[in-house]
Amino acid sequence: MKGQIQTSPIDYASYIESSDHGVGSTVTFQGIVRNMESSKELKHLFYEADEKLAIEEMNRILEDATKKFNLIEAKAVHRIGIVKPGETSLLIVVHSPHRKEGFEACEYIVDAIKERLPVWKKDHFLDGSESWH
């Protein structure tokens, strides 16, 4: 279980590796910033978080998923700061013996992170307007 919050771009390749030979499936989710939101052209998103609490909660979610779905390993990383269209804001990686559990666990982790993490998002639009989520 490994949860991270970072300001730098997410290096996808460094997260998908596993040295465990019991891995039969690796399932990933990448949350990618769109260029449009609410029919308006997006300049970038700004993510803010209570980093300490977010990492603690993320690790709880990963631990819960690992137990519930019998995973070999689960990892998650969430960007904070400015994230531009086309960039990854959230990456989830699930290593499991079988694909079914991997897919179910990945969805569970994404939903739990969206619901429980103290992370807030502000849309910055090209027209100069802004909106918090």
Range of the domain at 6: 2-10+40-132
Domain count for the chain: 1
- Domain assignment present for 27: no
- Domain assignment present for 113: yes
State the pLDDT confidence band at 59, using cuts at 50, 70 and 90.
very high
Alpha-carbon distance of 64 to 92, in angstroms, equals: 14
Name the amino acid, one letter, at 41: E
- Domain assignment present for 81: yes
pLDDT, tens digit, for every residue of 88-126?
999 999 999 999 999 999 999 999 999 999 999 999 999
State the pLDDT confidence band at 2, using cuts at 50, 70 and 90.
confident
Going by C-alpha positions, the residue among 42, 38, 16, 39 that lies closest to residue 95 is 16
CATH number at residue 53: 3.90.1170.40
- Domain assignment present for 109: yes
| pLDDT above 80: residue 1 | no
- Domain assignment present for 89: yes
- Domain assignment present for 127: yes
